[in-house]
Amino acid sequence: MLNYGVSFEKFDESLQDMQIVKESLINMRLNPASFSFIKLELRKDRELTKMALEINPHLFRYIYFEFKSDLEMALLAIRKLPHNLQFMTAAFKKNPEIVIPALELDPLTLQYVDPAIENYQEIVMNCVKRDPSTFRFVKEQATFLPQILSIVPKCIRYIPRTERLKYLELTLRYDVSVSTCYEYYEVAPFFSKYPEILLYIHYIHEDYIGDDLFEFVCKRGDLIITHTTKLMNRERMLKIFQDYSISDLQTRPPIKR
C-alpha cells in the first residue's frame, strides 16, 4: 500500500493510526487531497499537521479548518509554498504578516491579495518593479496607472488594448520601447518627437515618414518601407543607400513597392 500511495477516502477510520499517516508523509506517498479524509482526531493533531506541511505544503488547503486561521501554520505554509495564499482566510489575505513574505518569495501571489490591505498601492508598486506582469492582477488599475506607468512603462502591455491609447504619450515619454505594444500608425504622430520609436518597428508606410525622418528610416537596415511610390523619395533613398558599402547593401531586405 505504501509503495503505491495512500488515499484515506475509502480507508476505514478504525484502521487509521498516527504511524500509518506519518509513514505515508515521510515516504511522500500521501495523496494531498486524501488528507481531508483522515479521521478528525488525527487532523486536529497540531504536530502532525506541521509535519505534513513541512513535507508537502500542498496539503494546506486540506488541513483542519481551525488551523487555517493559525498564524504559525499560515506562515509555515507560505514559506514552503507562497501560492498557498489563495487558500488562506479572508483576514490573512489582507494581513501584512502573511502577505509580505508571500510576495517576497513570489510577486505573482499578488493575485490573491485583498486590496483592502494597508499600503496596497506601495505593495503593488514593489511587485510590478520586480515583475511587470503582476500588473494584470491589480484590482482597480486606473487608480494606479499614471504613477505606475511613469516608473514601469512596460506595464502598459497588461492593460486592455482599448485603454492603452489613453496612456500612449505618457509611456513613450519614459520608455519608447513600449511602442511595440501599439500599431505603427498609432505611434506615427510621435515619430518626430521620439525618433527612437523607429528602432522598435519592422515596417512602415511611406506616408508616415516626414522629411526630417526619411534619412533616419533609410539607414535602418532591417526596416522595410512599404508603398514607396513617390519618385522623389525613391531617388533620395537610392542616394542614401549609395553611402553604404556593397556588403551592407547586399544584406538589406528588398524594399516593397
Domain boundary residue among 182, 207, 225? Answer: 182
CA dist 60 and 58 (Å) reads 5
In a domain, 85, yes or no: no
Q: For the segment 183-219, what is each residue's pLDDT rounded down to a tens digit?
A: 777 887 887 788 777 777 766 666 666 665 666 666 6
Residue 206 shares a structural domain with residue 253: yes
Whole domain around residue 128: which residue ranges? 119-182
In a domain, 219, yes or no: yes
In a domain, 27, yes or no: no
CA dist 57 and 49 (Å) reads 10
> In total, how many domains does the chain have?
2
pTM: 0.67
CA dist 208 and 211 (Å) reads 10
Residue 174 shares a structural domain with residue 124: yes
Residue 210 shares a structural domain with residue 249: yes
Q: For the segment 130-149, what is each residue's pLDDT rounded down to a tens digit?
A: 998 898 888 776 677 888 88
In a domain, 232, yes or no: yes
